[in-house]
């Protein structure tokens, strides 16, 4: 075999070897991408197809680089606070049932509130969530009891219906695997203000002083006449009062901050005058809200359908089994307010100036992940 033939054979062998390396690289990249997007079951090994060799005997071009996008990276200039992290004596955090994986043991949390258990249509508690599902937490755990119906709340609180004692007994039994019970009844009817207070007192007596009893209340900036959630009257009945200092603006209100800084400042100024420092826990939101200036997703009169078709220059319909329908595109303005690390630290520092040293976050999993290094628990 002459030199040229040997050289030509060597080049082709190198081509084949390089092609195999390239094919292996493509296969590994595909496998890594699949593993990142799903789980091990999603990764399927595929036979690499050979890379065609160029006719001129040159080396084949390498495959284009694969660019991965970090979807958790903020889409805006993410300015961070300056100075030192904020420190509090107690940091409360809420974890939702079936979202236990959103909690991480590295989070500086002293009190974990497990949300939660509701009252069902028959006046019984729903199944109690097993706190052992929250892995790695070493602090105090609290079962959050809620009732999301105003009428059902009335039947639970008023003793004459026979539901109340059953709920109290069930909560006392559930408290055995927790350090405390938290009552989050946000729809108490006006006539049940006294029933609500005695309900808390009866739970306190049933679970004993070795268990914590806490209550969630809406934000207030002043005394309100005949207030169901009067801070002064509730304070002697519980170990902590968690003030839900959020939803200043809500889904059907005008656009605005979930918890505006000045609004929160006024809540803090009022709260410290009526709740002892040890019992006051100020709630902060991790979530944001969006509003749109036009929404078409609802039921319509015929006249309304005709109006929006005219407004959007829609004059042609289709019929499906005789039923008219249409589709048009339109521009919608979306306004959003949310919290990130900068605003959360600013709000925390403001609360510190009011001598508030206990805070709570609704809820774990919704937060800007860069916030946690800025939060510490006082030793």
Mean pLDDT of all residues in 254-265: 98
C-beta neighbour count of 22 within 10 angstroms: 18
Q: What is the pLDDT of residue 71?
A: 56
Q: What is the pLDDT of residue 74?
A: 85
Query: pLDDT-based confidence at 263, cuts 50/70/90?
Result: very high
Q: What is the pLDDT of residue 45?
A: 33
Q: Is the pLDDT reported for residue 124 higher than 80?
A: yes
Q: Is the pLDDT reported for residue 22 higher than 60?
A: no
Q: What is the pLDDT of residue 24?
A: 35
Dump pLDDT digits (tens) for 51-61.
455 565 555 55
Three-state helix/strand/coil letters over 220-263: CCCCCCCCCCCHHHHHHHCCEEEEECCCCCCCCCCCCCCCCHHH
Dump pLDDT digits (tens) for 343-371.
999 999 999 999 999 999 999 999 999 99
Three-state helix/strand/coil letters over 108-162: CCCEEEEEEEEECCCCCECCCCCHHHCCCCCCEEEEEEECCCHHHHHHHHCHHHC
Q: What is the pLDDT of residue 73?
A: 76
Higher confidence at residue 210 or residue 33?
210
Q: What is the pLDDT of residue 37?
A: 33
Helices and strands of the chain, counted as H and E runs: 8, 14
The whole-angstrom separation of Cα 304 and Cα 311 is: 10
Q: Which domains does the chain have, with CATH numbers?
A: 12-55 (no CATH), 86-291+338-377 (3.20.20.80), 296-325 (no CATH)
Q: What is the pLDDT of residue 61?
A: 55
Quote the percentage of the chain above a pLDDT of 90: 80
Q: Is the pLDDT reported for residue 252 higher than 90?
A: yes
Q: What is the pLDDT of residue 377?
A: 98
Q: Is the pLDDT reported for residue 2 higher than 50?
A: no
Mean pLDDT of all residues in 324-346: 97
Mean pLDDT of all residues in 109-137: 97
Q: Is the pLDDT reported for residue 25 higher than 60?
A: no
Burial of 348 (0-12, 13-18, 19+ CB in 10 A): buried
Q: Before 357, cis peptide (omega within 30)?
A: no
- What is the pTM (predicted TM-score) of this model? 0.81
CB 269 within 8 A of CB 354: yes
Pairing of strands 289-292, 334-337: antiparallel
Q: Determine which of 64-78, 85-99, 181-195, 277-291 has the lowest per-residue pLDDT on average.
A: 64-78
Helix, strand, coil tally for the chain in percent (to 5): 35, 20, 45
Please state the φ and ψ torsions of residue 23, each to the nearest 5 degrees: -65, -40
Q: What is the overall mean pLDDT for the chain? A: 87
Looking at the DSSP assignment, which residues form a beta bridge with residue 263? none
Which two three-digit tokens encode residue 285?
């939101």
Query: pLDDT-based confidence at 3, cuts 50/70/90?
Result: very low
Mean pLDDT of all residues in 303-320: 97
Dump pLDDT digits (tens) for 73-111.
789 998 999 999 999 999 999 999 999 999 999 999 999
Quote the percentage of the chain above a pLDDT of 70: 81
Q: What is the pLDDT of residue 111?
A: 98
Q: Find tokens 């509003």 and name the residue.
A: 291
Query: pLDDT-based confidence at 260, cuts 50/70/90?
Result: very high
CB 283 within 8 A of CB 258: no
Q: Is the pLDDT reported for residue 28 higher than 70?
A: no
Mean pLDDT of all residues in 22-43: 34
Higher confidence at residue 249 or residue 65?
249
The whole-angstrom separation of Cα 238 and Cα 216 is: 10
Q: Is the pLDDT reported for residue 120 higher than 60?
A: yes
Query: pLDDT-based confidence at 151, cuts 50/70/90?
Result: very high
């Amino acid at each position: 075999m002459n030199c040229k033939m040997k050289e030509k054979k060597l080049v082709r062998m190198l081509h084949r070897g390089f092609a195999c390396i390239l094919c292996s690289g493509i296969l590994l990249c595909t496998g890594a991408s699949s593993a990142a997007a799903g789980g091990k079951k999603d990764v399927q090994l595929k036979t690499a197809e050979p890379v065609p060799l160029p006719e001129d005997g040159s080396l084949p071009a390498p495959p284009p680089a694969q660019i991965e996008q970090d979807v958790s990276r903020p889409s805006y200039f993410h300015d961070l606070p300056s100075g030192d992290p904020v420190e509090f004596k107690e940091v409360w955090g809420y974890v939702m049932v079936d979202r236990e994986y959103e909690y991480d043991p590295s989070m500086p949390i002293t009190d974990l509130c497990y949300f939660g258990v509701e009252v069902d249509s028959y006046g019984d508690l729903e199944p109690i969530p097993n706190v052992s599902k929250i892995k790695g937490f070493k602090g105090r755990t609290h079962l959050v009891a809620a009732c999301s119906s105003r009428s059902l709340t009335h039947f639970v609180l008023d003793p004459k219906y026979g539901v109340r004692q059953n709920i109290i007994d069930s909560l006392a039994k559930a408290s055995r695997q927790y350090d405390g019970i938290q009552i989050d009844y946000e729809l108490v009817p006006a006539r049940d203000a006294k029933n609500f207070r005695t309900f808390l007192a009866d739970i306190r007596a049933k679970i004993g002083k070795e268990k914590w009893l806490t209550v969630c209340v809406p934000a207030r900036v002043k005394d309100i006449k005949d207030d169901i959630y009067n801070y002064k009257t509730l304070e002697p009945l519980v170990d902590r009062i968690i003030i839900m200092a959020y939803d200043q603006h809500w889904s059907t209100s005008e656009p605005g901050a979930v918890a505006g800084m000045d609004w929160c400042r006024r809540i803090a100024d009022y709260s410290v005058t009526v709740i002892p420092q040890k019992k006051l826990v100020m709630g902060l939101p991790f979530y944001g809200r969006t509003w749109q200036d036009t929404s078409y997703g609802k039921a319509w009169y015929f006249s309304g359908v005709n109006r929006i078709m005219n407004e959007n220059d829609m004059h042609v319909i289709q019929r499906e089994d005789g039923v008219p329908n249409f589709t048009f595109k339109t521009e919608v303005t979306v306004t959003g307010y949310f919290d990130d690390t900068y605003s959360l630290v600013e709000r925390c520092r403001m609360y510190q100036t009011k001598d508030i040293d206990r805070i709570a976050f609704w809820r774990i999993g919704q937060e800007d992940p860069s916030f946690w290094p800025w939060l510490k628990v006082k030793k």
